[in-house]
Amino acid sequence: MPRPIQATIHTAALQHNLGRARRAAPDALVWAVVKANAYGHGIERVFEGLRSADGFALLDLAEAERIRALGWRGPILLLEGVFEPRDLELCSRLGLWHAVHCDEQIDWLAAHKTQAPHRVFLKMNSGMNRLGFTPERYRAAWARLNALTQVDEISFMTHFSDADGPRGIGHQMAAFLQATQDLPGERSVSNSAATLRFGTEPQVRADWVRAGIVVYGSAPDHPERTAADWDLQPAMTLSTRIIGVQHLRPGDTVGYGSRFTADRAMSIGIAACGYADGYPRHCDTGTPVLVNGVRTRLVARVSMDMVTVDLTGVPGAGIGSEVTLWGRAANGTVLPIDEVAQAAGTVGYELMCALAQRVPVVVD
């Protein structure tokens, strides 16, 4: 028998969450963002659940090829555009739309020989200071693109730094609106957080939203709001089984560095999941975990292949019992990935993206 750990991708949850994004921005078309191998879920595994999206957005040309290989003929957007001139050939061949964020990308387009002109998304740096033209340089970039025979449609995009936090999007939205107000073309501004929080505000309405984390069922603004608050369902469950049990006496310690000391007689379960599976080593005693669908806690340090869980209050738990690290237990109880991420000092994004290659994945 293989090691009992397994990740499950929930097709119905992806469908539900995509619907949730649509309801949050009712007039917009929805890109399902599937970069980083669909946030660790696997592009081929999420395709069925997300195929009612209006397009797929990603970064990696190889991932774009994988989506075309699945038979997808609709829009695909390269969020960072091309990385070198010859990437434009693949864009022509596969009909990829691509972001344009710097002058070099315009130079490459100007030198590109193509039968079919491209659709591009001109990216504005409205305050994030990562990729894009500043508002002052945006029009000049637009004019250059607009003069190219290689380009037939120019859309406008920007990306928010604080859509999930107190600063919000007002300052960036103002810069974007001012610089694009009389330019003709479709617009895309919102990520998941902006879609959920501001999607229906008239100022923020746009033709396309870019829904990433929301479709995977994690709350972009956790712990301010939870996945349940936003009516999101986990798209991934990471589960395993108990492979050993220890009965501790008061004063016994557990694991590397003896990080946990029993203050009373208690039983712990040894579960087959460790940091080599992508479970964060930063999780410590107290991190929530489900055993047989009952909420309990991690104790001691996470090892490479094992974690230890407190069996107090989980009657009947023993070898073979189900352990849910995040996602949905067999009895329906949900442990949000965001709570585990918080215990590790990070965000749900990082945990799902870090699911290790050695974990077998099934789609339900």
Name the one range near ligand PLP by CB under 6 A: 48-56, 102-110, 204-212, 279-287: 204-212
| Dihedral of alpha carbons 341, 236, 274, 292, sign | positive
Name the one range near ligand PLP by CB under 6 A: 135-143, 185-193, 262-270, 275-283: 185-193
**Nearby residues of 125 by Cβ (< 8 Å), 6 or more positions away:** 101, 131, 132, 133, 134, 158
192 binds ligand PLP, rule: CB under 6 A: yes
DSSP strand E in the chain: where?
Answer: 6-9, 29-33, 55-58, 76-78, 97-100, 118-124, 151-158, 187-188, 208-211, 236-248, 253-254, 260-261, 266-271, 288-291, 294-299, 307-310, 322-328, 334-335, 361-363
Site for ligand PLP (CB under 6 A): which residue of 220, 234, 255, 280? 220
Our answer to whether residue 256 is catalytic in this structure is: yes
159 binds ligand PLP, rule: CB under 6 A: yes
Query: Cα–Cα–Cα angle for 195, 134, 75, nearest 5°?
Result: 45
Our answer to whether residue 113 is catalytic in this structure is: no
213 binds ligand PLP, rule: CB under 6 A: yes
Count of residues that interact with ligand PLP, criterion CB under 6 A? 13
191 binds ligand PLP, rule: CB under 6 A: yes
33 binds ligand PLP, rule: CB under 6 A: yes
Residue 130 marked in a binding site: yes
Both structure tokens of 244: 């050993």
For ligand PLP, which is the closer residue by CB, 121 or 142?
A: 121
Residue 304 marked in a binding site: yes
- 335 vs 293: CA distance, rounded Å: 9
- 218 vs 17: CA distance, rounded Å: 10
Interface characters, 64-83, with ligand PLP (x: CB under 6 A): ---------------x----
Site for ligand PLP (CB under 6 A): which residue of 22, 41, 210, 241? 210
Is the preceding peptide bond at 288 cis, omega within 30 degrees of 0? no
**Residues designated as active site:** 35, 256
Residues that bind ligand PLP (CB under 6 A): 33, 35, 79, 159, 191-193, 210-214, 220
Annotated binding site for substrate: 130, 304
